[in-house]
Amino acid sequence: MIEELNLATAEYFRRILQQIDPDPNREGLRETPDRVAQAFKFWTSGYNKDPKDVLKTFEDGASVYDELLFQGGIQIHSLCEHHIAPFFGVAHIGYIPNGKIVGLSKLARLAEIFARRLQVQERLTCQIAQALEEHLDPLGVGVVLRCRHLCMESRGIQKSGTITYTSALLGAFKKETSARDEFLKFVALADARTPNL
């Protein structure tokens, strides 16, 4: 089934090349449809992954930890669903455990699962937060994404370097000022240390 999908994707892109390049059979383009099919297989690999498979929880260690756990500067790459153009940036993710924690690499893996789908930044932000809330039942979840979108930088309004921020705050981060302030302070620190996009 996957191999048939790759062949179909390559054939579709071969037809697109015939529409946009006067010589679609030249050497430089000869293998492009197959490479594009493989690239799209990778860029959209998040559809074949389930967040619950990476969010294995541990109770050991969580019983004594009830403060903010934060990871900042997680690099993400995705495709805008409106133009199939790349957008990229960083995710800042935090949660307050409620008796369960996940391995540290799992936050980046979770962001990757949802980023490797056709997306809009707003949905991507919410999906990361909602998956953490669903599988960890934490006291609070916060997600902030800082991204650049080539759909608006390389076409349309063509405003290079524009940064789009989105946030999703759940539980304590939404209801309690002190928790939200602590999370946003960590976001600011992470942004200051994260290289410019």
Q: Is 126 a catalytic residue?
A: no
Pairing of strands 57-58, 86-96: unpaired
From 83, 126, 153, 176, the catalytic residue: 83
From 126, 130, 133, 151, the catalytic residue: 151
Pairing of strands 164-171, 101-102: unpaired
The 8-class DSSP code of residue 16 comes to H
Q: Is 77 a catalytic residue?
A: no
C-alpha separations of 96 from 6, 50, 56, 79 in Å:
42, 22, 16, 30
Q: Provide the 10 A C-beta neighbour count for residue 31.
A: 10
From 71, 92, 135, 149, the catalytic residue: 149
Q: Is 81 a catalytic residue?
A: yes
Spatial CB neighbours of 117, under 8 Å, sequence gap ≥ 6: 44, 46, 47, 78
From 11, 31, 59, 81, the catalytic residue: 81
From 71, 119, 121, 127, the catalytic residue: 121
Q: Is 147 a catalytic residue?
A: no
Structure tokens belonging to residue 58: 């541990």
How many Cα atoms occupy the beta-carbon half-sphere of 163 within 13 Å? 10
CB 125 within 8 A of CB 97: no
Q: Is 121 a catalytic residue?
A: yes
Q: Is 83 a catalytic residue?
A: yes
From 80, 112, 119, 182, the catalytic residue: 80
Residues noted as catalytic: 80-83, 121, 149, 151
